[in-house]
A and B are shown apart, each in its own frame.
Chain A
């Protein structure tokens, strides 16, 4: 799958940068340490935008081209920040046969956000994810960790409404 690039403005803080630089300092002389550094960078920032990748590139003396290649290879690395409202739609086999695809399309249509992307204002992110292990509840989605199971298409908008007004 081709990864989509973010349109959300970078809001990194000096504290985050200091943390990242400390991580880089710990790993700088370890061979093959790019993966753990990127994982920790993602733990600090939530995702890995250009600004963060440049810090890693300079600190680890690895080219930006190589770092970007690694990040786009592994699905664990995110180029987009998760939204304030992060919606994961389970695309495991059980959910899929019970209509998870339609649910994903419905949410995408209602919010105007494509799967794997984050809305420009950073409010919503939508992702089709692998089996979350709640097959008995198929089809199932999670929103910021809350689980909504045995979902029917008609219920989608009502659930999304809950997150419209909420100060999340």
Chain B
């Protein structure tokens, strides 16, 4: 890589050519704080927190967007820089609701940390008018408190640029500027898909998931309720971050131990119902290919993607697999087969899912997701909410021993494990579909071409005498690219995996919030998905159809994949929705 020479705070450093001042400083281990900057997504240079002094420049320079040049002399810590940053923080604070003690982002707030770092201590300095906003909580999954919004536009950019959805924007101007939907509509009245990427982009407590933990505490306390929990594949690769661990720490054993200590009557592995999804979906794929069904078949595990399809590409709803997601399959089989085995009335069973996703909160309330006369799943909580529950319960997560899931839903295959990363569902389905078609074991289980965090991946595989062309997209912006290519005939594929969030569930909108100082410079997606692929590689059972729990379930209850019972419990339907509700 070509290098240039820069001087930072009087010391000589090399920096990559074409880097910004911020990147050059970072390379030299000099921290420059940022607020509005979101690498590659939101780079307006408008918050003026990253200001630095450059020798010869007329005024302070925004390090996030200004290029570093050969011989540049940069000063990141002068009196003028400190003063400017402090004043800008004070101005932001002058219109910020400072209920930090009870704020959901207390101690994980970028603004709070910066105010501490820059000794912003005089809160009377800019006492003046303050905007008063009502909290918006019209959806099942999101709360917006604009009183805490600092107008950095990171949520707007996440929605518009990262996801290519754009249901929120900056309305009005000057002191009245605020983030909201067109015509001040409620979020539930616009075509928001619920992915939650805006939440993980927010530096403060202005955006958060709707907290569903209270009803879980109540259910656990209620002796008449049988309360069980199942954890989605990706949670074990991210939960550690809630307790200060490095991204990519694999904490399955500790996670199970913590869930057991929270008082659930059963702690189960959603990897098993991910396997169940594969059994049904692989069967559906083979059936559609052999019987000239609607192709390409598109996966249906990601409820954010499902809503995106329903709103923006309703013509593709018939391509969607009718399989419920692993979350919903868990609820459906637990409240039928397993409840019956335990002599429980489905009405007395309270199913909790821990998921990386805010859209799952919407999914549990959808039509066609109540196979036993009651909702399949009663409460869906994100990784963040589980983290808070563990803390509240006084459980010292980092010191927990490794424990195992409860019988009978204790085993998930490696195929189920990798559901949490983009390409994982595709690979899991290919492992099972290939062996079903060929009737013999695969030599190599790793389908490398569909791995990795690129937004769009394409591959072709020969399964016996059947050639299957596949595509994988993560993030709705990439979903759009694939769907447009399929529509125009440019892309000819039989099977497509789409996840609503970039990178898949490991980067879901319900995952632990990492500050932009980490997100801008760390490949979170790769670190987190590596944890899942490494775990898969170590497992004995790596194919869904070889999972003993799956075999037992089909032998004793479901019969055949795609059979009548499976159809009733494990499949659902979709709705064509209008993008404009009003």
Contact = CB atoms under 8 A, between A and B. Distances in A.
Contact of B174 (A1, A50, A68): A1
Contacts of B165: 63
B407 interface: no
A5 B172 CA distance: 12
A143 interface: no
B171 A68 contact: yes
Question: Secondary structure of the A side of the interface?
Answer: helix
A69 B580 CA distance: 17
Contacts of B169: 63, 65-66, 68-69
Contacts of B176: 1-2
Nearest to A53: B182
A2 B131 CA distance: 12
Contact of A68 (B159, B160, B183, B580): B183
A3 interface: yes
B540 interface: no
B168 A65 contact: yes
B580 A66 contact: no
Interface string A32-52: 000000000000000000100
Contacts of B170: 69, 73
B183 A5 contact: yes
A75 to B, nearest CB: 8
A54 interface: yes
A86 interface: no
B184 interface: yes
B390 to A, nearest CB: 37
A64 interface: yes
A63 B171 contact: no
Interface string B141-167: 000000000000000000110000111
Interface string A1-43: 1110100000000000000000000000000000000000000
Contacts of A1: 172-174, 176
Contact of A73 (B166, B168, B173, B183): B173
Interface residues of B, number: 20
B109 interface: no
B181 interface: yes
A1 B421 CA distance: 46
A5 to B, nearest CB: 6
B184 A67 contact: no
A124 B173 CA distance: 26
Interface in A72-99: 72-73
Contacts of B166: 63, 65-66
Nearest to A75: B173
Contacts of B168: 65
Contacts of A68: 169, 171, 182-183
B11 interface: no
Contacts of B580: 54, 64
A95 to B, nearest CB: 23
B582 interface: yes
Nearest to A74: B173
A73 B169 CA distance: 11
A53 to B, nearest CB: 7
B173 A65 contact: no
Nearest to B173: A73
Contacts of A63: 160, 165-167, 169
A67 B182 contact: yes
Nearest to B159: A65
B184 A5 contact: yes
Contacts of A66: 160, 166, 169
B181 A65 contact: yes
A72 B172 contact: yes
Interface of A: 1-3, 5, 50, 53-54, 63-69, 72-73
Given A68-B171, A69-B169, A69-B182, 11 more contacts: A1-B174, A2-B172, A50-B582, A53-B182, A65-B159, A65-B167, A66-B160, A66-B166, A69-B170, A72-B171, A73-B170
User: Which 8 A-B pairs have CB atoms at the shortest separation, nearest pair first?
Assistant: A63-B166, A68-B182, A65-B169, A69-B169, A64-B182, A2-B176, A72-B172, A73-B173
12 contacts: A3-B172, A5-B184, A53-B182, A63-B169, A65-B167, A65-B168, A65-B181, A65-B190, A66-B169, A68-B182, A69-B169, A72-B173
